[in-house]
Structure 1
């Protein structure tokens, strides 16, 4: 039996292109338009009005990370995510050096529209982590 090696992470959201642009900035991903279109405006212009902007996809230009798919849904976010991304911004760092790196990335992401929810400072069991929200309120962690 073979195992699956690739997967996609799907985000339900109100504005797929806005959320995709945010995550492209966070992760260094790209969101090329669908084949045959010069840009997303041309693609959306070819669709029925009710379908325009209803999805967007982003991918790791190195091909290493998972594809991110953003789809418009009619309802807004009302409760905590059951799944969230951990953005590995300070891998291998500990103590003050780790917290400094996390805070610098937090500041960069806040400038992009994210919100800092909670800074969890290292204790006897865990290293520092920062809990954040993306531009539509989805939780993620800087780890």
Structure 2
């Protein structure tokens, strides 16, 4: 029997905070809790290197029922690439080779269902590895 997978919806945009604020208002979502050691999300942003400030924002269901929404700044406008794609959470909490193995196993299962593997984005010291795929109509999504 298959099990339900948790997803995160990721939106590519030019102004992550403005887009996140819009979707929080639409859905009744909220900012996640501020990380320990910071008084506010503005303080978190100020602690980042200048090139990373404003690069991402998050909105989440306050009841934890709906998917987390992640908004990331990209330089290009919408042309061919999806502006919204799903991140299917199959390796949450895993790192290194264990994470890649979990991503690969899920990719193999999805290929059998008609999905297409595009490429593995290896861990880079800031982000863990993820695997980019396409669904049966060519829409991109990530195994995360």
The TM-score, its normalising length taken from structure 2, stands at 0.51
1:16 corresponding residue in structure 2? 16
Q: CA deviation at 1:76?
A: 1.3
Looking at structure 2, the residues matched to 18 and 54 of structure 1 have their Cα atoms a distance apart, in angstroms, of 11
Contact 1:31/1:59 (8 A) holds in 2: yes
Looking at structure 1, the residues matched to 21 and 64 of structure 2 have their Cα atoms a distance apart, in angstroms, of 18
**Would you say 1:72 and 2:73 are equivalent positions?**
yes
Looking at structure 2, the residues matched to 73 and 29 of structure 1 have their Cα atoms a distance apart, in angstroms, of 23
Secondary structure of 1:68's partner? strand
2:92 corresponding residue in structure 1? none
Looking at structure 2, the residues matched to 54 and 4 of structure 1 have their Cα atoms a distance apart, in angstroms, of 30
The number of equivalent residue pairs is 84
User: What per-residue deviation string (whole Å, max 9, x for no partner) do you get for residues 63-93 of structure 1?
Assistant: 1100000011110123695868xxxxxxxxx
1:41 corresponding residue in structure 2? 42
Counterparts of 1:91-130 in structure 2, within 5 Å, are: none
Q: What root-mean-square deviation, in Å, do the aligned CA atoms of Structure 1 and Structure 2 show?
A: 2.4
Unaligned runs of 5+ in 1: 85-143
**Would you say 1:63 and 2:64 are equivalent positions?**
yes
Contact 2:11/2:72 (8 A) holds in 1: yes
Q: CA deviation at 1:38?
A: 2.3
Looking at structure 2, the residues matched to 64 and 32 of structure 1 have their Cα atoms a distance apart, in angstroms, of 14
Q: CA deviation at 1:4?
A: 3.7
Unaligned runs of 5+ in 2: 86-144
Contact 1:8/1:67 (8 A) holds in 2: yes
Looking at structure 2, the residues matched to 74 and 64 of structure 1 have their Cα atoms a distance apart, in angstroms, of 31
Q: CA deviation at 1:16?
A: 0.6
Q: CA deviation at 1:2?
A: 5.0
Q: CA deviation at 1:39?
A: 1.8
